[in-house]
Structure 1
Amino acid sequence: MSDRTGHEGRAAGGRAAGRHAGAGDLLDLVRSGRATTRGALRELTGLSRATVGQRLDRLFRAGWLREGAGGSPEGPGSPLGGRPSLRLEFDDTHAVVLAADLETRHARTALLGLGGEIVAEQAGPLAIDDGPDAVLGELGVRFAELLRKAERDPASVCGIGLAVPGPVDSGTGRVVQPPIMPGWDGYDIRGRLRRAFAEQTGGPADVPVLVDNDANLMAYGEQRAAYPRCAAFALVKVSTGIGAGVVVDGAVYRGIDGGAGDIGHIRVPAGQSGPEGPAALCKCGSYGCLAAVASGRAVARKLTEAGVPAASGADVRELLEAGNPVAVGLAREAGRHVGEVLATVVTLLNPGVLMIAGDLAGTPFLTGVRELLYQRALPRSTAHLEIVTSRLGESAALVGAGTLVVEHLYAPRRAEERLAALGV
């Protein structure tokens, strides 16, 4: 199963939109808004009226498209007159998606519509170091609870999206040497989550499961929801760890094997060894990583050393919300360290939007980021840069995971395969 994003599928659909365009290509044209009437589909593809009708009929029978009033006039005399055409729309009510966002100490799960709206959501403690078998089994239980709460049939679930705090090989859906996910390296997440879903809900045993890094999915969800026209979008998540997600031309950029965006393990001067010995030991086993000096875990450690007990990024967030002066000072210092690294990131990527998200994404941290970023990056790199905080908040990765599933399942080639499997 390929994990290409929907934008990649749409690019392929755009190339195929001609006399060989199939039902999946027509669906793609409708979903993207490039063609919303039968006449527009004929014009873009060069297909005959009968062929367009036959291919649309497959989509209607699958329940994926609906037709209603609202199109432009067609026929002789148009646009001066003529009968209004029927508008084609993707029917986003025919199925639902399940999504989960795993963090180090808790998880959020959600049931989403195909349009990205959250139908039901819940959050609760779940320790990722309990291991993949136990954690994924518990997600199956929580998915069943969501479906009961929303009164949805498990058979209506067309796919599951999962966000994890580690690098993911998108081809296999397996995490690769994750620093803060002990026991997960190379584990068959897709297979276990499918079994957990089927066992707990009675739903299909072959439901598609897509897995990606949490920062990637946060970036994808935020970019699609609020910045769809931004061609280069970067998100930095600073919570217990530090990671980044990059969306270029509407597609998540993952690198060769899912390792893109792992900026938490860039070495920084502040974390290097000093006269008193190694200053910052990272969870990955190295000294001097950005995450070892500027993550929520690092700030929590410094707070504890200063007499303010804290164990995680979530604890730091609570202290920041309460206005604790020690937490405010340390968060601003952490922001400066991250800003120093982001100066290089911004120079390399030249993004239009840089979003700061996660437990530390408040005013003190953002102030620190701005101080170093604008000081170190060339003015040319930041002239058109917008630095913002999260719009979707704690739901960002869930929305991104749901969107990834929908874009994958309804991309032209995959849509054709699914229509054939449905016997349509």
Structure 2
Amino acid sequence: MVNAPTRGRRPTAAPATAGEIFALIRQGGVATRTEIGRATGLSRTAVAARVDRLLAEGLVSEVQGGAVTGGRPAARLAFHAAGGAVLAASVGVSRTSLAVCDLAGTVLAQDSLRIRTRSGPEPVMTAVAERLEGLLGEAGVAPAAVRGVGLSIPGAVDSVAGCSIGVPVLPGWAEVKLPPLLARHFPVPVRVDNDVNVMAIAEQHAHPGIDDLLVLKVSTGIGAAVVSGGALQRGAHGSAGEIGHTQVADGPGRPCHCGNLDCLEILASGAALIRDLTARGRSVDTVSAVVDLVRAGDAEAVTLVREAGRRIGEVLAGAVNLLNPSVITVGGDLVGAYEPLVAGIRESVFKRAVATGTQSLRVEPGALVGRSGVTGCAILVLDQVLSPGSVDEILALTDLRRARV
């Protein structure tokens, strides 16, 4: 049973730390020193000391508010999104999206790199770091203002160790710890997760009130992420959502790089469409080129994309029956061919899934198409570096440095 707070005071015995006060301000729960005192039970002097440290660190700003009855205007406190920055890198098999974001996750500068992951983790991370350094300059952000880096990679990830568990699309990446490779350039916390998981984090923020969400990424490969009961589900070993390696019925017996036959990814991904269109005489070598053909009205490209959507929908139908999501969002590079792709997905899902699972189901493009990867990476690391414990650690380090001067 949760104890109800008494007269606005904190139910715990321990005094509120500066980090806990920052969390209240960031969440919009308090806006003045008086409100902080009521919410925490701290004395005016204790509140002032903690707030002053947050102001000095640049995490909080203060402006004069409206007048209060019988006294001077109350100074109002607000989360200072410009008090630092985080870096975001969403690594794909052939294209990597990069961004510099403020402390609210707003993109200040962004770019993409055409670099293949088969080059290996060290060359890719070096290229990522060098371009992020350039983006900092373009955004007018000093390197010293960087507070963290959020990184995503394809496939299953050990988010604690910060490495790929070992997936076929990332040869040579298995168990290579990625945070140290970026920490050489940016000595700040680095968080690593699966590429579709970070998309789901971003989409969850963009869909307030939606607790059951299935996020689909169709790009060079195919992956999914699951938000159930309001929480991102990573699974026992970080491989939740690996629908790309679900075997499809009635396939042609095509071998997949994972070792199985007729996996969804080998039949319906962007890479599969490039292969099939090239075999039909089309000059395409990227998913973007496939999208261009569809937008130009190429009948064969439209037909192949719709068939890919049908195959994806066959697998998603089982996920709908199992998870009963409210919304399926579709993202990734192939979303540019949205109409035939999603027409095929809907056709199979609504045909094969149970009626109670589809009666109010929405299938729609992601709310942050083109930005969900970097936005999710930013949120991923912000949730760590702006947590109460991390803020208290930052302030303790600042105090230590000052004491040494």
Identify whether the pair has TM-score above 0.5, normalized to the shorter chain: yes
- 1:110-162 per-residue CA deviation (whole Å, 9 max, x = no partner) reads 11111222111122321111111111111121122112222321111111111
After superposition, the Cα gap between the structure-2 partners of 1:383 and 1:30, relative to the gap in structure 1 and judged at 3 Å, is: farther
Alignment partner of 2:29 out of 27, 34, 48: 34
Question: Which of these residues, 151, 156, 164, is aligned with residue 153 of structure 2?
Answer: 164
Confirm or deny that 1:373 pairs with 2:349: yes
Say whether 1:334 aligns with 2:334. no
Partner of 1:236: 216
**Corresponding letter in the other structure for 1:257:** H
Aligned residue number for residue 216 of structure 1: 197
Deviation at 1:175, TM superposition (A): 0.6
1:360 maps to which residue? 334
**For 1:314, what is the secondary structure of its paired residue?**
helix
Distance across 1 between alignment mates of 2:36 and 2:321: 42
Question: For 2:248, which of 251, 268, 271 is the aligned residue?
Answer: 268
Please state whether the residue corresponding to 2:384 is helix, strand or coil.
helix
**Distance between the aligned counterparts of 1:51 and 1:405, measured in 2?**
29
State whether residues 101 and 108 of structure 1, in contact with CA within 8 Å, keep that contact through their aligned partners in structure 2: yes
Cα distance in structure 1, aligned partners of 2:293 and 2:257: 23
1:68 equivalent to 2:66? Answer no
Question: What secondary structure is seen at the aligned counterpart in 2 of 1:211?
Answer: strand
Unaligned runs of at least 5 residues, structure 2: 1-9, 401-405
SS in 2 for 1:270: coil
How far is the alpha carbon of 1:17 from its aligned partner?
Answer: 6.8
CA contact (8 A) 2:228 2:323 kept: no
Counterpart residue number, 1:401 = 377
**Alignment equivalent of 1:86, drawn from 75, 80, 91:** 75
- Are 1:282 and 1:289, in contact at CA under 8 Å, matched by a contact in 2? yes
Farther off after superposition, 96-105 or 37-46: 37-46
Task: Give, in angstroms, the shift of residue 355 of structure 1.
Answer: 0.2
Q: Hey, what does 1:252 align to over in structure 2?
A: 232
Q: Report the residue type matching 2:306 in the other structure.
A: R
Map of 2:255 onto structure 1: 281
Instruction: Check 1:69–1:252 CA distance in 2 against 1; reply closer, same or farther (3 A cut).
Output: farther
1:181 correspondence with 2:184: no
In structure 2, how many angstroms separate the alpha carbons of the residues matched to 1:263 and 1:211?
A: 20
* 2:91 counterpart residue number: 102
1:392 pairs with one of 362, 365, 368: 368
Pairwise CA distance, 1:411: 1.0
Q: Does the CA contact (< 8 Å) of 1:296 and 1:314 recur in 2?
A: no
The answer for the alignment partner of 1:316 in structure 2 is 290
Match of 1:8 in 2: none
Instruction: Give the distance between the partners of 1:270 and 1:413, measured in 2 at CA.
Output: 53
Q: 1:111 aligns with which of 96, 100, 103?
A: 100
Counterpart in the other structure of 1:138: 127
Partner SS state of residue 123, structure 2: helix
Q: Is the 8 A contact 1:19 1:46 kept in 2?
A: no
1:50 maps onto 2:45 in alignment: yes
Distance between the aligned counterparts of 1:17 and 1:420, measured in 2? 25
- Which sits farther off after the overlay, 398-407 or 34-43? 34-43
Cross-structure match for 2:7:
none
- Give 1:312 deviation, angstroms: 4.1
| C-alpha contact 2:94 2:220 (8 A) present in aligned 1 | no
Shift of 1:349: 2.3
CA RMSD for the aligned pairs? 2.2
> 1:56 Cα deviation (Å)?
2.0
User: 1:310 Cα shift?
Assistant: 3.1
Higher relative contact order, chain-length normalized (CA < 8 Å, sep 6+): 1
Contact map agreement 1:17 1:25 (CA 8 A) in 2: no
Q: Please state how far the C-alpha of 1:316 moved relative to its aligned partner.
A: 1.8
Number of equivalent positions: 389
Distance 1:421 1:333, change over 3 A: same
- Larger deviation: 246-255 or 281-290? 246-255
